[in-house]
Structure 1
């Protein structure tokens, strides 16, 4: 590449243009996140810990649009600033990730700015022809470490890359002040998804002057080897030896030729030298031939092994597919068997069945008597009267036993059945992706529909997915069972225990059922180790459960217009109304539903149905064949109240020479109407894997729906599947059909529909380009696309903005612990920290000024005098901008998820005006017994204390203001904290009375724990002054609110005990 081209590629104009045009279409954002995760996985643990524990500042140089920077900040909890010389990239990054710091700078122009502790850069240096000179330029902006992620052994370079990095050109000491202390090569070719088809290498350089302070061992360095097979290493060594010999030979011949050109002195020696050269040449040729033979043999052996491996892989994939189809068939038959048994048992339990029992007995009596007479005659002939009596006595208990065993369950699947109280566990390593809970409207083994497809694709995307079946196990005690659905994926079905096993379709859950399910979910959380989750709710019955799980997002996946079913109880419709208004994300599957949704919720995303293209794009080895060789007009899917039987009957009459083939369960009695037509064949329901067998036999595919409110809201899955097979499709004119354009023939009347079917039959065989267009459309409308959209919609939701007001008065060490915990454990919210210092004299102002200056999300107010508890906090409340305000003492340490959980309680309980956590040290009901001795043990014990009360809170009279969260609406209604109490005491009691006077409730979250040192500032006043202040302020309080009720402790009962 010329210098001119290189300068152009490394210019602001070039990259501004890239970021504004094709960066996203070329998956630039996905690549940034991908490379950030590769770097995080390759980073040595000692460096991760040092950056976090020493609170080192980190620069992400060349951050592009900030996607990788956000991953570093989120996954490593680092204090990261993204820097890039492209203004458009930084503007996009700042808009997309407001909680992360970004700066528009060009470090190569040597700006006058203080250095960072760590400079990180991903896939940047390869763009420069002299990368290590660039290293020297940016090294001045790192005081401790430089971390580089580079393409490794990229022998076929990208057009924008100037250098190929390998072990020969990566220096141990690229600059006199820097030395390589760690490297790790990573092969990214086989990751799913992969955005780099080769290797990457992570390099960690440290300043030599500080290297001794780190006390690194050889194990910490862990220099990466080439990692090549032994045969390849030997072959390369042989090749190098031959090349050295050849070089020596050429040198000798050159020398010989030079000496010969001097006039031929010492001819005898020259002849001898020539003979030796010829002999060496012959030996070299022999060795080269032998080496070539060895290399050729190794290549043939390698090729044979690769072919064998490919064959074994194909055989394994074929066997796995066949096994999966068999398993699906078994599950399907088991489910259908159980469903039929349930239907029979339901029928037997009805009043009409019991009332008509005498009629059935009378009608069956003659036949029963004839059969019994034959039995008696046979018994008498083979044993006389005694045999008759004995057989009669045996018949009675056997008949009674048979009547008592009416239920039959399918073969048991392997399950896990936890019992008893939750067992506290140490926190597990945080998973990169949240678990996904699918609270389904159907069982997994019912016909495959949207719920199963979404669940499977979320699992393929790397999430652990738990699919909660709509069937419960009848049990008095809470619990659950687990069924692994795919051995290759983290995909499980969960069956919860609920007394009387209610059906979710016919009534809202009772309070007792909700409590039992929540108790079962707490056991489940203890088993699964879930810390982060997304809850996808697909039926209103689940909503009271899902809102108590502290998920990062509760999404309502609105698949149907449920009122259109006509048999949905009013109390379930009321819950659906609540879901539509309060869900974090409201997903509509059609434009018709979108119109309704946008009137109810500001956060709506349209995520339509799709098709599993790979299941339908290839013709199966076998397909249905009509024995009469007729053209086939086909449909598969449910045949229910929305199925237009009249239309299908008219089609059968209009095309008597064609076979109308209907595949699906008939729950509307359509078969009774159509059986009189000899060209109609109804197959019944078949497993999902069997659908291509019939689909590829269809010449024309039908979507014969009635136009009713239910179908107006429908986005039919089968259309995507029909098109995935390239078939010709005729459908009714519904709103969702518009998206298919001319790929589907549409009709708005029975006559028009029949005309379109006739036109489709006349067009057969379809032109290859028409088939290709249909399949191309379906290939871009897969469930993987929908899951990607689902994840993007969740990640795009605005995070709750929380302002934590931290009032400080001396106690600098406690303040440091408090602030560090806020930064480390406040995930899931956009946190603003407002620090108000009340004229501390222990060095706090200087530390806080330095600390706050490096953080955009921090505001600092330094008072010249002590404004007291109320005055200082009121300053902070006035300066705060968050939707939720937290009054937080500086002698506290928060725990993971504290802010998100408190916000969720307030959001899900609109009548709750203020809420606090439980703690180790306070004078009221919020206090719980603890045993930890240090802050590290505190985090472990806090998780064990709170997880068993997930989603729970209780009402109390006063929240202590060591930690209290209130919505901005409460603050605006009740105003600032009363400053009538001077330095402190009784402000929290006073404020809580005002909250109650506003008609709001006061709560304490059982699932949030905050460590409290207790009265760290007041203790400096001395016991006598504290007592006097307390009594004086009590009189002030009672003058306003009447007699003060002393706070009380409570005895917290552990769940399961």
Structure 2
């Protein structure tokens, strides 16, 4: 596994908002010891400023930072889920491109269709979340694999409280029995069915957790509680208050291809699950109560409330445990390794990595491309900063806004005529780093990983701060 030097996910999702399949898989890759670069698509939910955040030893969250300097000459495995990125992913010079087909390009997602065909047909490997998606992709590309969704079993079952946070007080006064739904509330949700559930079980409370996506009106009943978006770390706490977990989706071409993550998460908690007529739900027999009609759905809720047994709960949790994200990630890694062997590609044994000092001692505000053609210039702060060779070139940002008498000269930082101060790479013995006055360039030498060292201005005063604006 360590022979895969990096897996990169291009900017598609906000990492902290609606944790989905890509976040889970990328995190699991990193926990297998593979460097994972998650390029964040920042939103109002972003917790991080521009820069690089290290989420674990091998998991890097890039916020508005180009990963190219950190890849150097390495060719990453590019894993992507948005068909619209079919052209963009090639800019990372990938060793392999993996397209993950997670939703059918129909109904609400019909606009994806043209790019979907290109993404599937051009990918080196295609992953699919359901049987229907598998059959669709198989007609376009022979290198297709079925990879159903999964769950973080340890988190939802309570076996490991690493990510666990208590629920908010908004659930404290809601009496049981509780029928619960966790997920986006969108046009594929059957709101009439939700109303029917509330009306048919007036002695129960129906809790809906998740943001509104492409709708603005939802049914109102005294026993329906729309609690809105909750961070992933609190979802297990809410789910543990439920007595039944429901999946009230409409029957459409798009939902026929859905393998709901919530189905696995409900089972990990131990909840009885009631679903509409989703083909992927039917696979699990009486562990997921499959409902052809509205009447079936209502009968199955009653069955779940009053006829469930400890044995059934244990069986559901066993199935969930056998379908964890870690197991899915291990499957993907085996698929990648087999493909590399099939193509007789020599995997790079040296993982891409970023030293902790670069992350903790960097201020990335106002990143832009300098006129001299260098990929990015970095605002470095802190004491001595070590830059690994895979970061391409080390450069100091312009010291804008700092009077010249407040900092002393930089080692190896000559001033380029008519340009701000930039750092030239130090030529280490045995390496092949090159630079010129007008345009930076580099060549990575063979052999073991080499280092560049940039020394910060010794008189830099705390609180002044630098930026590259």
TM-score by length of 1: 0.31
1:494 to 62, 69, 86: 62
State yes or no: 1:734 paired with 2:278. yes
State yes or no: 1:785 paired with 2:353. no
| Counterparts of 2:444 and 2:13, CA distance in 1 | 34
| Counterparts of 1:605 and 1:761, CA distance in 2 | 37
| Counterparts of 2:116 and 2:165, CA distance in 1 | 45
Listed one character per residue, the Cα deviations across residues 1013-1041 of structure 1 (whole Å, up to 9, x for unaligned) are xxxxxxxxxxxxxxxxxxxxxxxxxxxxx
**Residue 638 to residue 782, structure 1, CA distance change in 2 (3 Å):** same
Structure-2 residue corresponding to 1:483? 52
Shift of 1:735: 1.5
Give structure 2 stretches of 5+ with no counterpart: 44-48, 349-428, 446-469
Listed one character per residue, the Cα deviations across residues 218-241 of structure 1 (whole Å, up to 9, x for unaligned) are xxxxxxxxxxxxxxxxxxxxxxxx
SS of 1:556 mapped into structure 2: strand
Shift of 1:768: 2.2
The higher relative CO (CA closer than 8 Å, separation ≥ 6) is in 2
Query: Contact 1:603/1:797 (CA < 8 Å) preserved in 2?
Result: no
1:538 to 58, 81, 87: 81
State yes or no: 1:699 paired with 2:243. yes
1:563 to 106, 110, 113: 106
Structure-2 residue corresponding to 1:771? 313
| Counterparts of 2:176 and 2:343, CA distance in 1 | 65
Structure-2 residue corresponding to 1:658? 204
Shift of 1:543: 2.4
Structure-2 residue corresponding to 1:610? 150
| Counterparts of 1:779 and 1:595, CA distance in 2 | 27
| Counterparts of 2:206 and 2:183, CA distance in 1 | 14
State yes or no: 1:688 paired with 2:257. no
Shift of 1:534: 0.7
Structure-1 residue corresponding to 2:137? 597
1:674 to 213, 216, 219: 219
1:638 to 181, 184, 188: 184
Shift of 1:542: 2.5
Structure-2 residue corresponding to 1:919? none
Shift of 1:721: 0.7
| Counterparts of 1:943 and 1:532, CA distance in 2 | 23
Structure-2 residue corresponding to 1:438? 9
Listed one character per residue, the Cα deviations across residues 462-518 of structure 1 (whole Å, up to 9, x for unaligned) are 11111112359xxxxxxx9533152x3322222447xxxxxxxxxxxxxxxxxxxxx
Shift of 1:621: 9.1
Shift of 1:777: 0.8
**Residue 468 to residue 662, structure 1, CA distance change in 2 (3 Å):** same
| Counterparts of 2:165 and 2:113, CA distance in 1 | 46
| Counterparts of 1:435 and 1:535, CA distance in 2 | 9
State yes or no: 1:629 paired with 2:148. no
Listed one character per residue, the Cα deviations across residues 394-421 of structure 1 (whole Å, up to 9, x for unaligned) are xxxxxxxxxxxxxxxxxxxxxxxxxxxx
**Residue 743 to residue 440, structure 1, CA distance change in 2 (3 Å):** farther
| Counterparts of 1:609 and 1:602, CA distance in 2 | 21
**Residue 649 to residue 565, structure 1, CA distance change in 2 (3 Å):** same
SS of 1:605 mapped into structure 2: strand
**Residue 577 to residue 628, structure 1, CA distance change in 2 (3 Å):** closer
| Counterparts of 2:343 and 2:174, CA distance in 1 | 69
| Counterparts of 1:445 and 1:469, CA distance in 2 | 9
Structure-1 residue corresponding to 2:33? 462
SS of 2:284 mapped into structure 1: helix
Shift of 1:786: 0.8
| Counterparts of 2:148 and 2:435, CA distance in 1 | 38
1:827 to 337, 342, 346: 346
**Residue 587 to residue 457, structure 1, CA distance change in 2 (3 Å):** same
| Counterparts of 1:690 and 1:628, CA distance in 2 | 17
**Residue 718 to residue 530, structure 1, CA distance change in 2 (3 Å):** farther
| Counterparts of 1:555 and 1:942, CA distance in 2 | 34
SS of 1:674 mapped into structure 2: coil
Query: Contact 1:440/1:538 (CA < 8 Å) preserved in 2?
Result: no
Give structure 1 stretches of 5+ with no counterpart: 1-32, 34-430, 473-479, 498-519, 803-825, 830-935, 951-1006, 1010-1057
**Residue 781 to residue 576, structure 1, CA distance change in 2 (3 Å):** same
SS of 1:555 mapped into structure 2: strand
**Residue 626 to residue 760, structure 1, CA distance change in 2 (3 Å):** farther
- Once the two structures are superposed, the pairs formed by residues 900-1049 of structure 1 within 5 Å of their partners are 940=432
TM-score by length of 2: 0.68
| Counterparts of 2:264 and 2:11, CA distance in 1 | 22
State yes or no: 1:579 paired with 2:119. yes
| Counterparts of 1:628 and 1:468, CA distance in 2 | 39
SS of 2:38 mapped into structure 1: strand
Listed one character per residue, the Cα deviations across residues 763-810 of structure 1 (whole Å, up to 9, x for unaligned) are 1xx4222211111111111110110011111112265668xxxxxxxx
Over aligned residues, Cα RMSD in angstroms?
A: 3.2
Shift of 1:456: 0.8
SS of 1:462 mapped into structure 2: coil
Shift of 1:759: 1.2
Shift of 1:627: 3.6
**Residue 432 to residue 567, structure 1, CA distance change in 2 (3 Å):** closer
Shift of 1:723: 0.4
| Counterparts of 1:801 and 1:795, CA distance in 2 | 10
**Residue 788 to residue 440, structure 1, CA distance change in 2 (3 Å):** farther
Query: Contact 1:558/1:589 (CA < 8 Å) preserved in 2?
Result: yes
Structure-2 residue corresponding to 1:48? none
| Counterparts of 1:643 and 1:467, CA distance in 2 | 30
**Residue 655 to residue 544, structure 1, CA distance change in 2 (3 Å):** same
| Counterparts of 1:827 and 1:794, CA distance in 2 | 12
- Once the two structures are superposed, the pairs formed by residues 740-819 of structure 1 within 5 Å of their partners are 740-763=284-307, 766-797=308-339, 799=341
| Counterparts of 1:526 and 1:490, CA distance in 2 | 17
**Residue 628 to residue 586, structure 1, CA distance change in 2 (3 Å):** closer
- Once the two structures are superposed, the pairs formed by residues 213-612 of structure 1 within 5 Å of their partners are 432-471=3-42, 481-486=50-55, 488-496=56-64, 520=66, 524-529=67-72, 531-566=74-109, 568=111, 573-612=113-152
**Residue 481 to residue 541, structure 1, CA distance change in 2 (3 Å):** farther
Listed one character per residue, the Cα deviations across residues 641-682 of structure 1 (whole Å, up to 9, x for unaligned) are 111101010111111111111111123446x4421x111111
Query: Contact 2:102/2:128 (CA < 8 Å) preserved in 1?
Result: yes
Listed one character per residue, the Cα deviations across residues 308-336 of structure 1 (whole Å, up to 9, x for unaligned) are xxxxxxxxxxxxxxxxxxxxxxxxxxxxx
| Counterparts of 1:542 and 1:659, CA distance in 2 | 42
Query: Contact 1:562/1:710 (CA < 8 Å) preserved in 2?
Result: yes
| Counterparts of 1:450 and 1:686, CA distance in 2 | 17
Larger radius of gyration: 1
| Counterparts of 2:144 and 2:274, CA distance in 1 | 31
Structure-2 residue corresponding to 1:715? 259
**Residue 526 to residue 775, structure 1, CA distance change in 2 (3 Å):** same
SS of 1:796 mapped into structure 2: helix
SS of 2:145 mapped into structure 1: strand
